[in-house]
DNA sequence: CTCGGCCTGCTC
DNA sequence: GAGCAGGCCGAG
């Protein structure tokens, strides 16, 4: 579910709420989410620790503690909520529910819930050393100075794979997912099934700009809430109101009126305008 | 590089 | 009941 703008939105809310809070207790209901790390070690590392700050790398959240960090990846359906005992929002279940697999009890009566119906997410304790290894295969953050047009062009050059699959590759554009990839390709007028090696200079620059634009706009809109994205305060994002192609199959393109198509590219549902994208 | 698998829930 | 879903990993 969550791509870079959604994870960034969550990070910003958590960064407001969590620093200086102490973890009183940690409750893990689904050890499978640790992907092999020992639950005892996991809980021991958390209990009694004070949260320093919250960061994001690609689609990963990092909650920094003094000794090490709690890594959270939300997979397809992961959600993080803070304190949510009220019943104002009818469409949200009361927490904890059967999909709430991890709970952190913080001081000041606050609680953090991790909810993940499909269980594609992961939770792990990372030491500083683990961190380097863990993130070393990720490309440069697309919104940072480290992400350059030249580096991007290099990553696409000679590639047989479709541009869609290359943009989804976290070694090239970490944080990009299915929605923002389709939107960036629409903005830059490139067909999703175009081979990486076929892209030359003006198009690459345009795509590079489009990636930054969609990610920035996604963050400004606080994410895309198509079905179930909420920030930790249960707020929905608004980027779904700005989508041009994602989920718009059978609708007319509002730039040219051509019917938006949907097909599988790179094993993912892919949306594009056959006239605007060449 | 592409495919299947990992899971549950929702829509048709 | 089938097919689909915002992600990632490992096998071939």
> How distant is C1' of B3 from CA of A16, in Å?
42
Place of tokens 């970490």: A174
Q: Which of A11, A57, A59, A122 is catalytic?
A: A59
The predicted structure's pLDDT at residue A94: 84
Alpha helices in A65-200 (DSSP H): 128-135, 149-156, 163-168, 178-188
pLDDT of residue A230: 94
- Tokens representing residue A63 in the block: 């909650």
Count CB neighbours of A145 within 10 A. Answer: 7
The three-state secondary structure class of A278 is coil
pLDDT digits (tens, 9 = 90+) for A251-264: 999 899 999 999 99
Structure confidence by residue, pLDDT tens digits, A26-67: 999 999 999 999 999 999 999 999 999 999 999 999 999 998
H helix count then E strand count, chain A: 7, 10
Average pLDDT over residues A5-21: 97
Span A76-133, pLDDT tens digits: 999 999 986 555 555 678 889 999 999 999 998 899 999 999 999 999 999 999 998 8
pLDDT of residue A88: 53
Is A98 part of the annotated catalytic residue set?
no
Return the pLDDT at A92: 77
A190 touches strand C (CB under 7 A): no
The answer, as to whether pTM is greater than 0.85, is yes
pLDDT, tens digit (0-9, with 9 covering 90-100), for A151-178: 999 999 999 999 999 999 999 999 999 9
Residues A1-18 as b/e (b if ≥16 CB within 10 A, e otherwise) read bbbbbbbbbbbbbbeebb
Do residues A88 and A143 make contact, with C-beta atoms less than 8 angstroms apart? no
Helix (H, G, I), strand (E, B) or coil at A57: strand
Q: Which of A2, A5, A192, A232 is catalytic?
A: A2
What pLDDT, on the 0 to 100 scale, is given for residue A85? 56
Burial label for A83, CB within 10 Å (0-12, 13-18, 19+), is middle
Could you tell me the pLDDT band of residue A196, with boundaries at 50, 70 and 90?
Answer: very high
Residue at the smallest CA–C1' distance to nucleotide C7: A75
Per this entry, what is the length of chain A?
Answer: 278
Q: How far apart are CA A10 and CA A222, in angstroms?
A: 9
Q: Kindly give the pairing relationship between strand A261-265 and strand A69-73.
A: unpaired
Mean residue pLDDT of chain A comes to 94
Question: Which residue out of A3, A6, A8, A183 is catalytically annotated?
Answer: A3
What percent of chain A lies above the pLDDT cut of 70?
97
DSSP string, A168-226: H-TTTSTT--HHHHHHHHHHHT--TTSBGGG--HHHHHHHHHHHHHHHHHHHHTT---S
**Looking at residue A84, what is its pLDDT?**
61
Range A84-93, long-range pairs (CB < 8 A, 24+ positions): A84/A113, A84/A234, A85/A111, A89/A234, A92/A230, A92/A234
């Amino acid at each position: 579910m969550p791509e870079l703008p959604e994870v960034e939105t969550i990070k910003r809310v958590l960064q407001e709420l969590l620093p200086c809070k102490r973890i009183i207790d940690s409750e893990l209901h689904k050890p499978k989410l640790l992907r092999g790390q020992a639950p005892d070690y996991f809980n021991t590392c958390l209990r009694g620790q004070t949260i320093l700050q919250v960061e994001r790398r690609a689609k990963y959240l990092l909650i920094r503690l003094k000794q090490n960090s709690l890594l959270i990846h939300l997979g397809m359906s992961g959600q993080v909520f803070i304190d949510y005992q009220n019943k104002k929002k009818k469409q949200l279940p009361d927490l904890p529910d059967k999909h709430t697999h991890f709970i952190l009890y913080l001081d000041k009566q606050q609680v953090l819930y991790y909810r993940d119906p499909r269980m594609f997410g992961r939770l792990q304790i990372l030491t500083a050393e683990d961190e380097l290894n863990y993130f070393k295969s990720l490309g440069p953050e697309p919104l940072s100075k480290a992400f350059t047009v030249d580096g991007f062009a290099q990553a696409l050059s000679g590639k047989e794979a479709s541009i869609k699959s290359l943009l989804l590759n976290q070694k090239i554009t970490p944080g990009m997912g299915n929605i923002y990839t389709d939107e960036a390709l629409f903005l830059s007028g490139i067909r999703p099934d175009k081979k990486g090696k076929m892209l030359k200079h003006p198009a690459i620059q345009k795509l590079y700009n489009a990636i930054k634009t969609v990610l920035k706009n996604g963050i400004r809109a606080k994410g895309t809430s198509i079905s179930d994205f909420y920030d930790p305060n249960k707020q929905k994002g608004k980027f779904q109101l700005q989508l041009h192609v994602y989920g718009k199959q059978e609708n007319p393109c509002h730039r040219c009126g051509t019917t938006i198509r949907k097909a599988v590219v790179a094993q993912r549902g892919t949306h594009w305008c056959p006239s605007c994208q060449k």
